[in-house]
Structures are given as C-alpha cells and as structure tokens.
Amino acid sequence: MKKKESPSAFSRLMEYAGQFRVLTYLSLILSALSSVLAVLPFVYLWRIIREVLQVQPDFSQATGIVRNGWMAVLFAVLAWLVYVGALVCSHGSAFRTAGNMKKALMRHIARLPIGFADEMGSGKVRRIVTEVTGSTETLLAHNLPDMAGAVTMPLCMLVMLFLYDWRYGIACLIPIVLSFVTMMRMAGPAMQEDMRQYQNALERMSNEAVEYVRGIPVVKTFGQTVFSFHRFKASIDDYRDFCMHYTRMMRKSMVGYTVLIHSAFVFILGLTLFLIRGENYGTDILLNFLFYVIFTPAIATTMSKVMFMSENDMRVKDAVQRMDSILGIEPLPEAEHAEEPRGALVELWDVTYRYAPDAPAAVSHLSLRADQNEIVAVVGPSGSGKTTAAGLISRFFDPQEGEVLIGGADVRQISKDTLMRHIAYVFQDNRLLKRSIADNLRIAKPDATEAEMLDALQKAQCADIIARLPQGIHTVLGTRGTYLSGGEQQRIAIARAMLKDAPVVILDEASAFADPECEAQVQAAFREMAKGRTVIMIAHRLSTVRNADRIYVLKDGRVEEQGQHQELLEKRGLYAQMWTEYQKAVNWKVGEAV
C-alpha cells in the first residue's frame, strides 16, 4: 500500500487562509508580472547605450535618448506599483492566515488538560505559538511574492542574456550555475535537520529562561549569577555551540557562494578581453559589455533571494510541524451522555496516575473522601502526590486506574462546563491579570454585579485592600505603582472563588505566599469560604489544617494516615513527625544557629 504523503507546509497554510488564499495567489501573479516589467528598463537602457555609441562623437544625432529614458522610468515605476499591489495582497492574506493559526492553536490548547503546559513547558508552548505565526507572516507576506519574482526574473534574464549576445549569456550563466550548486550544498536536505536542531536549542533556552526569570528574586537575594542556574546556563552553551559549529561548517560554502554569485563581472571582463584581442573588433562588443556590466548585478540580488527563501521555507516547515505536534495532542475525551453530579461529595477510589508511561506513579491506589460541607486537608512530604490528587479531582488529567467521583458521578462522565461550575480552584501561585480588580473577579462570574463582587471581597477579608486602592475595585493592577503582595493576591483569588459559588473548593497551598500578618486574614477567608461547601486543602503549613474535619497524610502517592489533628498526633506516626519538625521551624531563631 502506497504511503500517503503529508501535505506541504504551503498547503497547510492555505487551509488556514480560507477565502483569503485568493489574495496569496493574486500576489504571486502580480509579483511575477512586476519582475517582467522590472526587466524592461534594462532593454531601454541598452537602446540608449547603443544609440550613444552609434552617433558618437556627434551626440546631437541621438534623438531617441529622452524617449527611451522616459520609457525606462515608466516601466520601473509601473513595476514598483505592481509589486506594491502584490505586497498589499500578500500582507492581507498573511495577517489573516497567521491570526487563524494562532486562534486554532489557542482554541486547541484551551481544550487540553492543564497538565499539558507543565509537561511541555510554558516557554516552549509560547515559542511555538509565536514562531509559527511570525514565520508564517514572513513567508506569505514577503517570501512567496519574492519567490514568484525570483523564479520569473531568471527566466527573463536567460532570454535577455542570449538575446543580445549568446557568448555573454554563457559567461553570465557559468557563475549562476556554480553558485546554485554551492547554494544547494547549504540548503539541501541536511539543512532541514540543522534547522530542527536550531529550533530545539531555542526552545530549550526559552523554557529555561522562563524558569530563570521566575527565580530572579532568589538569584538577587543570595547574590548568585546565571551560572548558579545550571540548566539555563547549559541551554545557552548548547545554543552557542550549535551556532558556532554550524557557522564553521557553512563558512567555506557561504564564502564560495558569495564569491561566485558576484563574479559575473570577472567572466564578462575575461570574455571581452578575449574578444577584443588585436584591433579587429566592433562597437557591438563594447555595447554588450557595458549592458551586461549594468545588468548582471540583478542576478546576484535574485539568487540571494532564492537562497534566503529556501531557508525561510525550511523554518516554516519546522514551525508547522511543531504546531502540528500540539494540535496532535488529543484533549481529554468528553462523555457522549453526560452525567450531572448529585451533591458535592468528592471521592477517589483506588486511583493510580503516572505523568509518563515509564515514570513512577505520582499516586498509587489512592483512596480518599470529602463529604459535603466538610473541610478535608491533604498533607505530606514534597512529592507525595498532594497536588496530583487535586489535579485529578479537577480533571486536569485522567487516572490510568481507578475512579474520581463528584456527587456520585465519574468526572470523566461529567461535561467540562458542568465540572467547571462545580469546582473552584485556588492555585498556589495565583497570578492576577494586569486589569482591574473587578475584571479579575469577573473571570469567575462574567455577569457579576458590583454588589456581588464587594460582598465576595468582604468575605475574603479584602476590605483593607480595596480601601487603599485609588479607584476601589476598578483600580487597574500594575499601573502607577499599584501592586499587591502575595498574600493580598491570594485573598483576591479566594474572593474570586467565592464569587463563583461552586459547591467544591480546592485550595492548593493557598496560604503559601501569605506573610504572618496576612495569614490570619487568609485563614478567616478560608473559614468563610467553607460555609456550605466541600473544601479540600493542600497544605505545607500544618497550622492551616489543625481545624480540618479530616486530614489525609500522603507518602509516596498513598494514604499513610488519616484522622483529625489531635488523633494523628497521638498515633505518633508520620504526621506527628511532620508536626514536630514544623514547630521547630516556626520557633527557630537566628541565635539558636550560632
């Protein structure tokens, strides 16, 4: 069976262009026509030179110079206008194609589980989205019209090269052929693999740069440098080594190409010297020599466009492949017959989840329960599976084994919209948008009234925050020095969750960035949020879970212990050890370390 060929990058782009693909094809036609018109001024220039040589030294007999000069200007201007028309068409198509591709990518990413971005890396995802639209715009708006012109121009040149003097035509053709052979050594199939490695190096550096920027406070606090971030430094070194290696590898070929493509004058001069040996030669040799000296620089410009177009085409192919690598990721399946949760009971039954097939289980045969109107805390050492359990409840990903139930319905059988209405999630690192407080709150409830927002802010202990903002809830964050601390951002995020009024609330280390003065307010906000809701708290600060109705202690992805605070202390198990260490950390003083 014949293997089905994958569509070309251009075909994929035209799929996204839709009805605007007509503009792309029109730009190609106009660009080709512009190239034909751009050659005609050289014809009239040749006529001017011929007339001057024929009438010299009596130049008063040169009656056609003005007319030929204006014709050359006319066709030059006409060629420019047609080319501008080609660019207008190509840009109109390019912008819409790039926009449609970005929309398609973002729509698909929005359907993917949240764990997708963590697995692939936010820097890599952002670079793919940016690169595919940027390279697409460059290709469609500039490279394709130039390619149509670059293909048409050599054909016209070949006609003209041999139309006036076939000997000079051959002399000009030799460096073209040699430079093309040299160019193919650089732009051949091997370059596609080099382009892929180049983009991989950029993606790794982009990913690590994001992590480095997030860690700048630590770098400055401890007086470190980029060298302390080994992975970021290694990604920079890898990128540098690849670029240096590739540059050295292409050095001879690039120098050879540059020399050859600009050497047409040498061949023309050599031919001319050969033809005028002795004294028996006519003015036609001088005429052709002058014409080809003027004409041949256009050959170098055209061939350079061809070379850079091949590189840009490879870049687009690579970008489209990377885009397809995201579009090829299947979103979590939706149930054909969706179920409706009955209540806010949350249950995990014998759940096992691995982030990769060959990775160890993040949670293994995990079972826990949170009854309606109950506060359940999940604690444990780092890497014990706390956040994974919370992600499974919110269906950021599906377990390989077991069931996750909300209101008696498997989350895989609940529609996405229904599940999102039933769950409010407060992340550990809540990043508010650089919009007004009101805009940030309306993410949870777009039609919320100002009274509803103020009530949610009051319950989340945010009254003091709103009171000091110049325009209250309509103050835009990040402008005129208006910034919130980590604890204040957490309280705004809690207010947003309250405004959503979901029956199930998941707090993932929600007090992690609260300072001691702010923690009491965050705790008060937690108590207010818990009224009438099922609350699941993921916590490192054990002081925040003392009053929980039930505490699950995880270790290696399993439930090690469960019970209330005092009950777990009396067991003298893992929780008691964690509590002892926590108390030591809280009561630790600088003087004790001396």
Mean pLDDT over 288-305 rounds to 74
Distance between CA atoms of residues 270 and 130, nearest Å: 50
Distance, CA of 237 to chain centre: 22
Does residue 219 have a pLDDT over 70? Answer: no
Q: DSSP labels for 379-409?
A: E-STTSSHHHHHHHHTTSS--SEEEEEETTE
What pLDDT was estimated at residue 306? 67
Beta-strand pair 401-406/375-379: unpaired
Tell me which residue of 21, 35, 19 sits closest to 140, measured CA to CA: 21
227-231, 370-374, 443-447, 576-580: the lowest-pLDDT one? 227-231
User: Tens of pLDDT along 248-265?
Assistant: 877 787 888 888 878 888
3-state class of 361 per DSSP? coil
How sure is the predictor about 136, in pLDDT bands with cuts at 50, 70 and 90? confident
Overall average pLDDT of the 192-209 stretch = 69
Residue whose entry in the numeric block shows the structure tokens 């035509």? 169
Say whether pLDDT at 213 is over 90.
Answer: no
Q: Which helix (H) or strand (E) holds 73?
A: helix 65-111
Residue 331 vs residues 52, 306, 416: alpha-carbon distances, Å: 74, 40, 11
CA distance 545 to 539: 7
Percent of the chain whose pLDDT exceeds 70: 79
**What are the DSSP E strand ranges found in 247-297?**
none
Between 425 and 37, the more confident residue is 37
Q: How far apart are CA 13 and CA 139, in angstroms?
A: 10
Residue 165: pLDDT band (50, 70, 90) is: confident
For residue 150, is pLDDT > 60? yes
Euclidean distance between CA atoms 408 and 18, whole angstroms? 45
Two tokens, residue 236: 């920079």
pLDDT in the model for residue 590: 44
388 has a pLDDT exceeding 80: yes
Q: How many whole angstroms separate alpha carbon 320 and alpha carbon 127?
A: 12
Cβ-based neighbour number of residue 112 at 10 Å: 19
Question: Any idea which residue has 């489209």 for tokens?
Answer: 320
Residue 42, helix vs strand vs coil: helix
CA–CA separation, 191 vs 185, rounded Å? 9
536 vs 124 pLDDT, higher one: 536
Pick the closest to residue 471 from 433, 444, 438, 448 (CA basis).
Answer: 438
When mean pLDDT is compared across 370-379, 389-398, 528-537, the lowest value belongs to 528-537
- For 155, the token pair is 């054909």
pLDDT attached to residue 593 = 45
In terms of DSSP H, where are the helices of 112-229?
Answer: 115-120, 122-138, 144-164, 166-186, 189-214, 216-221
Q: Which domains can be identified in the chain, with CATH numbers? A: 9-327 (1.20.1560.10), 346-587 (3.40.50.300)
DSSP letter, residue 4: P
Cβ-based neighbours of 482, under 8 Å, separated by 6 or more: 469, 470, 475, 476
* Contact status, residue 506 vs residue 475, Cβ threshold 8 Å: no
Give percent helix, percent strand, percent coil of the chain, each to the nearest 5.
Answer: 65, 10, 25
In the structure encoding, which two tokens stand for residue 350, read together?
A: 């014998």
- Choose between 335 and 409: higher pLDDT: 409
pLDDT digits (tens, 9 = 90+) for 223-248: 455 555 677 777 778 878 877 887 78
Tens of pLDDT, residue by residue over 322-374, are 788 778 877 777 777 888 888 888 999 999 998 878 888 889 999 999 988 88
HSE, CB side, 13 Å, CA atoms: give it for residue 16: 25
pLDDT at res. 347: 92
Tokens (6 digits) for 476: 């835009």
DSSP state of 358: T
Listed in sequence order, the residues at least 6 apart from 18 whose beta carbon sits closer than 8 Å to its beta carbon are 96, 100
Contact 338, 422 (CB under 8 A): no
Listed range (30-34, 204-208, 288-292, 371-375) with the worst mean pLDDT: 204-208
- 42-71: pLDDT as tens digits: 888 878 887 887 777 776 777 888 888 899
DSSP, collapsed to helix, strand or coil, labels residue 433 as coil
Q: Evaluate whether 544 touches 537 at the Cβ level (below 8 Å).
A: yes
CA distance 304 to 250: 16
Q: How many CB atoms lie within 10 A of CB 197?
A: 15
Residue type present at position 442? R
Higher pLDDT, residue 465 or 169: 465
Give, in order, the Cα–Cα distances in Å from 307 to each of 134, 147, 508.
Answer: 20, 10, 53
- Residue the block writes with tokens 């919370």: 390
Query: Is 31 in contact with 83 (CB distance < 8 Å)?
Result: yes
Give the helix/strand (H/E) hosting 293: helix 283-295
Give the per-residue SS3 of 521-586.
HHHHHHHHHCCCCEEEEECCCHHHHCCCCEEEEEECCEEEEEECHHHHHHHCCHHHHHHHHHHHHH
* Rg over CA atoms, the chain: 35
Lowest mean pLDDT among 288-292, 311-315, 386-390, 510-514: 510-514
